[in-house]
Chain A
């Protein structure tokens, strides 16, 4: 009896989690412009429309530009922070880790207000550069945590072995530590990229009409009118996430493989 209750609960909860997306994706291929079932027929017209409409294409390109820039900057900030933090005394480590992780806890709306105001006063308000800077700050904690985890997991004896053979500190760092921690950097970069690519709240405060990103365009479209192109964009964004999840899994497999 309790088994039946348990499994029906699990089935219901899984359906609640999975069904909304699974049900909505097919609507992007529906011939009818009404976003409901039954499907009238299958078509790729809506995809064609989105991929040829300058608003969506430009928004996509802007998102890509911002995400790549933010990823690169976050990688430098977060990577340096993590490699530096493991070398300092314990008490300082706690304080610095708190500082480096703090953007994760502050609500995005507050971050948005802070950036919009401070960047505006500094004369870099609005546009591509401010978006890259803001998203880099949001992505840096993820790179930091990812690199820190992979550095902490390294065997210190490898470094000592290098030292015993006369390698200098910087040489050991470049040829032993860094290559071993590379998966941590790669995973952190993926996190930072996808965080920026999906981010909407801070972007709403900072973007000007010329630097509208895809999430902003989607948000505006949802507030305006529901139409198939919105579902198409949602499907494309989901595919992007799927791709990143697959990349991340491959990365984790590669890290796990040599050990086994």
Chain B
């Protein structure tokens, strides 16, 4: 009589009960921290909170009103707060530290007018300082993104292109990522082919090497390259021993070392997806093609290779996304000119404690990855649709 339950294993109520804990934890411990990075990248409360009087001014405030508000704000700051404000403003324009510190110490003695401020320090007559002060009285700021994208605020408040250091870093990151992706595909393709279609012994051996490499930590494999490529390392010993070079050459802490180590470290991520696709291609197809008169090269190019493109795309995409955010390997094997976006993010957190910049660059890196993942999803959807239409 009783019909079989519509869905095996349990009820919806049980599902919701089970999902409650993981969803709550994910939201609290993963989604919330990530979103706080986005807010952090535009958050200016650390500075604007110190300028209560300035923030309260309307857009049509007079210069004297602004001067009075600034002096009132500086006057209420304790010495430690003053130093903090001076440090943060100094990140945007050097020289700001001394201006804020000296003005802040004498805030009560200075006449609360623009003329009084300029008389105390002539630098207050420059609109550039005021533009930065006004910008930082607002609770939300785009200054980190402006700096990251090489845009500066001109003295009259208009936008202009400025120091493009981080744009160049992003360009370099993309170039290195592309190079590594191509190298891993070039080296990985024959290996995946051998693992998929080689004789039993060969395929087992190649697969074992790939899996061992995959399971050995990235840091350990990077360590191996650091040891091999150092000035007195094995590679140099061999090169000198064979008489190929007269004295040890610099193989590490440059682009060569970074590319070599990154290619090695990311290789398994390219091979495994290609291998999965190649395994599904029957060997009889090649025989059929050959029996119809195609040579081995033509068979490969026209029959085999097009079918493996999906694996190449998945493998290449995986390597590209992983490489984009790579930190450990380039940090240990590259030189100062080979560091990628991730290194600068870590540097801002560790050295200058500039969380705003670290957050802005993180958001940009995340956006690049998100665009790529979206493109990959779109490509998958498009191929699925084409298959449906063809059927």
Q: A88-B15, A114-B362, A117-B37 are in contact. Are A36 and B232 (CB under 8 A)?
A: yes
Q: A24-B228, A81-B22 are in contact. Are A222 and B190 (CB under 8 A)?
A: no
Q: A10-B194, A117-B355, A156-B8 are in contact. Are A77 and B216 (CB under 8 A)?
A: no
Are A201 and B328 in contact, CB atoms less than 8 angstroms apart? yes
B233: chain A residues at CB < 8 Å are 35-36
A43 contacts partner chain B, Cβ-Cβ < 8 Å:
no
Are A159 and B191 in contact, CB atoms less than 8 angstroms apart? no
Are A87 and B228 in contact, CB atoms less than 8 angstroms apart? no
Most buried by B among A34, A81, A230, A244: A81
B167 contacts partner chain A, Cβ-Cβ < 8 Å:
no
B152 contacts partner chain A, Cβ-Cβ < 8 Å:
no
Choose among A107, A173, A194 the residue that contacts B342 (Cβ–Cβ < 8 A): A107
A-B contact count (CB 8 A): 252
A183 contacts partner chain B, Cβ-Cβ < 8 Å:
no
Are B18 and A10 in contact, CB atoms less than 8 angstroms apart? no
**Nearest residue, chain A, Cβ from B31:** A99
Are B223 and A24 in contact, CB atoms less than 8 angstroms apart? yes
Are B296 and A18 in contact, CB atoms less than 8 angstroms apart? no
Q: Which of A127-179 contact B (CB under 8 A)?
A: 133, 136-137, 140, 151, 156, 159-160, 163-164, 169-170, 172-173, 177
Are B221 and A103 in contact, CB atoms less than 8 angstroms apart? no
State which size class the interface on B falls in. 35 or more
Q: Which of A5-30 contact B (CB under 8 A)?
A: 6, 9-10, 13-14, 16-18, 20-21, 23-24, 27
Q: How far is the CA of A230 from the CA of B225 in the complex (A)?
A: 13
Q: How far is the CA of A252 from the CA of B225 in the complex (A)?
A: 32
Q: Smallest Cβ distance from B336 to chain A, in angstroms?
A: 14
Q: How far is the CA of A103 from the CA of B31 in the complex (A)?
A: 9
B286 contacts partner chain A, Cβ-Cβ < 8 Å:
no
Choose among B14, B222, B345, B373 the residue that contacts A113 (Cβ–Cβ < 8 A): B345
Are A105 and B215 in contact, CB atoms less than 8 angstroms apart? no
0/1 per residue, B194-227, Cβ < 8 Å to A?
1000100010011001111101111111111111
A66 contacts partner chain B, Cβ-Cβ < 8 Å:
no
0/1 per residue, B282-297, Cβ < 8 Å to A?
0000000000000011
A133: chain B residues at CB < 8 Å are 29
Are A99 and B23 in contact, CB atoms less than 8 angstroms apart? yes
Q: Smallest Cβ distance from A84 to chain B, in angstroms?
A: 4
Are A200 and B369 in contact, CB atoms less than 8 angstroms apart? no
B213: chain A residues at CB < 8 Å are 17-18, 21
Q: How far is the CA of A192 from the CA of B214 in the complex (A)?
A: 15
| Beyond A118-B36, A218-B219, 19 additional pairs, beta carbon < 8 A | A17-B210, A35-B227, A35-B230, A77-B22, A80-B22, A81-B19, A87-B10, A87-B18, A105-B369, A110-B34, A110-B325, A112-B346, A114-B37, A116-B349, A117-B37, A160-B8, A173-B9, A194-B215, A242-B215
